[in-house]
Structure 1
Amino acid sequence: MPLRVDAERMRADFEALSSFGATPDGGVARTTFSEPHLAVRAWFLERGRESGLETHVDSAANHSVVLPASEPGARTLMLGSHLDSVRRGGRYDGALGVLCALEVVRTVQDCGLGLPVALEAVDFTDEEGTLIGLLGSWAMAGILTKEILAAPRGGRDVLVSELDRMGLTEDGLIAARRAPETLAGYLELHIEQGPVLERAEVDIGVVTGIIGSASFSVVFSGEARHAGTTPMDARRDAALGAAAFVLGVRETVVTGFPGCVATVGNIETEPGSFNVVPGRASLRLECRSLDHDEQDALEDALTARARAEAERHGLEVTVERLGRWEPAPTDVAIQEAFERAAAALGLTSMRMPSGAGHDAQALAAITPAGMVFVPSEGGVSHDPSEHTRWEDCVNGANVLLNAAVELARASV
């Protein structure tokens, strides 16, 4: 018979967890190192201690609750996600994964299972990118570098200030790296954040890989001229080139890169007046693929499209890459363990890629990693209305539990 978590205990803990940083619209606001974030992390460790489990915080401020192995010196199977949120987030994103990881560890302890590996439930630091994005898991995987720290997403001054406030150092972040030989794997449960499972009426998503992405600054330059006295055929309108490029981005992806996505998320024109032809238009572009070579080809195609639109409209254009995350395939043995666990519980499952980045993306660089998704109602996430049925939450926790026990036993 498959093992099952204590659903009532988990539900009570979920409600308690959701109270930290709760907003009137039903969401949460727990940005990294905010007071609600610090409070919920303390709560997480206390729940572990109350269960008689070990706890620790590493030099990147990753918080862990640990059930030691039956033998000293054994490797560690990690499970986890993140407790930080976006500024107006939902209650499930990240937090459900941490809670399910904690519940798996407690259930294994309650059952008295002597596993040959340690189980570690981890709350990673700054997954959502208030400071850097995947800060804690990058640090643990040894991916975090001085170059990344020199140009963080949230701004260098903010990073330095927050590290100082928290008693952390850049050398400490880098020193948080875990040796790959000490790890048996990493498992992460997460809400899907999309509509695929709900539309397919499938209980469990088994993630085949986490999509890679690249972000760019694209700037079209023309000439700012009087809007009333400059004929339409005499203009070098930067906004026109930018608009054509935005439409071209969609056409390029739809016709040449099915399965990929690209988004223009911000457009600014200068001087920004209704009576002046824009002399400059800057935009932010992101594109994503599950395949490394396809990601390269997509970036090249979009860059070529920007140059073609600039030439067609008599403009100059600069394209600057701001960052890139490599695609991360998940471990096949872990995928199969998730599928067996779901089948044993009478749940349906399907394989699918993750279109969003997760901590598993970083951990996959140093240890076998896998993810399991539970449905998101309406595909909504990063919003206070984000919701997953409690039955689906429990189903996911039980799949995570049984897969973790199987993989732990097979790891020797």
Structure 2
Amino acid sequence: MQVAARLMQDVVAIARRSEHGRGTVGMVQVNPNSRNVVPGEVKFSIDMRNISDDEVAKMDAALRATIATVREQTGMAITLEEVSHYPAAPFHPDCQAAISRAATGLGYPSRPIVSGAGHNAVYMSYLAPAGMIFIPCKDGISHNEIEYAAPQHVTAGANVLLKVMLDYAKVASGED
């Protein structure tokens, strides 16, 4: 378990070496999972994301090098299995600019955020330019049953989305 904990910390450390890197250990299975037995096996998930495929590849190489070093130092059998891989899907610059203009025009603060969002925006980016509008969540927790966003933040996000859509509709119709 101590070796697994070290590797889990290394996942985060590797991600932090890159400006836009994200490294998460989200699932841990300990066997036999008893409070007074030294685990014989620990499995855990690793999710590494970054702004480009090249940056993810660098993170992957660093992780593999770390695992090789830990294997050599401890003599433990450590395996790494890739379960899934999705190419990076950066937000489209035009969408990012439209969101920024809308937020600024409505008097809301805004800043570009690199997201590792691996859901809707990724799949939409295969079909059309994509972007996302982020709003604050209490304690930074999102995609979780305890996620909470204040009504005024939800309203602000919806207003930004509405303004972006209306601005795109004007461009599409030739208005301006």
Q: TM-score, normalised by structure 1?
A: 0.38
In structure 2, distance between residues paired with 1:379 and 1:316: 36
Name 1:247's counterpart in structure 2.
9
Paired residue type of 1:351: P
Deviations 1:7-29 (A, max 9, x none): xxxxxxxxxxxxxxxxxxxxxxx
CA contact (8 A) 1:249 1:305 kept: no
Q: Distance in 1 between matches of 2:160 and 2:135?
A: 10
Equivalent-residue separation in structure 2 for 1:246 and 1:386 (angstroms): 24
Query: Structure 2 counterpart of 1:363, which letter?
Result: M
The residue aligned with 2:153 is 392
The change in CA–CA distance for 1:376 and 1:269 in structure 2 (over 3 A counts) is closer
Q: CA deviation at 1:390?
A: 2.0
Cα distance in structure 2, aligned partners of 1:387 and 1:281: 33
Moved more, 262-271 or 312-321: 262-271
Q: Which secondary structure does the structure 2 equivalent of 1:281 belong to?
A: strand
CA distance in 2, matches of 1:251, 1:337: 34
1:95-106 equivalent positions in 2, closer than 5 A: none
Cα pair 1:334 1:407 within 8 Å, conserved: no
**Where do 5+ consecutive residues of structure 1 fail to align?**
1-238
Per-residue deviation, residues 163-188 of structure 1 (Å, max 9, x unmatched)? xxxxxxxxxxxxxxxxxxxxxxxxxx
Give yes or no for the alignment of 1:381 onto 2:153: no
The answer to whether the aligner puts 1:371 opposite 2:135 as a matched pair is no
Cα contact 1:264–1:284 (8 A) shared by 2: yes
| One-letter identity of the residue aligned with 1:353 | V
Question: Which consecutive unaligned segments of at least 5 residues does structure 2 have?
Answer: none
**Out of 348, 358, 372, which is 2:109 matched to?**
348
Which of the pair has the greater relative contact order for Cα pairs under 8 Å at 6+ separation? 1
Deviation at residue 359 of structure 1 after TM alignment? 0.5
For the residues of structure 1 that align with 2:165 and 2:35, how far apart are their CA atoms? 60
Tell me if structure 1 keeps the 8 A contact 2:15–2:48.
no
1:289 counterpart residue number: 50
Q: What SS does the aligned partner of 2:57 have? A: helix
Question: For residues 75 and 88 of structure 2, what CA distance do their matches in structure 1 show?
Answer: 36
Match of 2:83 in 1: 322
What letter corresponds to residue 42 of structure 2 in structure 1? A
Higher helix share: 2
Give 1:334's match in structure 2, choosing from 95, 112, 125. 95
* 1:261 and 2:7 aligned: no
Q: TM-score, length-normalised on structure 2? A: 0.81
Q: What is the letter of the counterpart of residue 357 of structure 1? A: G
Per the TM alignment, residue 263 of structure 1 is displaced from its structure 2 partner at its CA by: 2.3
> In 1, distance between residues paired with 2:107 and 2:145?
31
The percentage of counterpart residues that share the same residue type is 32
Partner of 1:408: 169
- Residue type at the aligned position of 1:303: R
- The answer (yes or no) to whether the contact 2:14–2:23 under 8 Å persists in 1 is no
Deviation at 1:405, TM superposition (A): 1.8
**C-alpha offsets along residues 317-363 of structure 1, whole Å, 9 cap, x if unaligned?**
22110112222112222222222222332222211122333311111
Amino acid in the other structure paired with 2:47: E
Matched, 1:360 2:155: no
C-alpha distance in structure 1 between counterparts of 2:95 and 2:38, whole Å: 56
> In 2, Cα distance between the equivalents of 1:369 and 1:251?
30
Change (3 A) 1:320 1:395: same
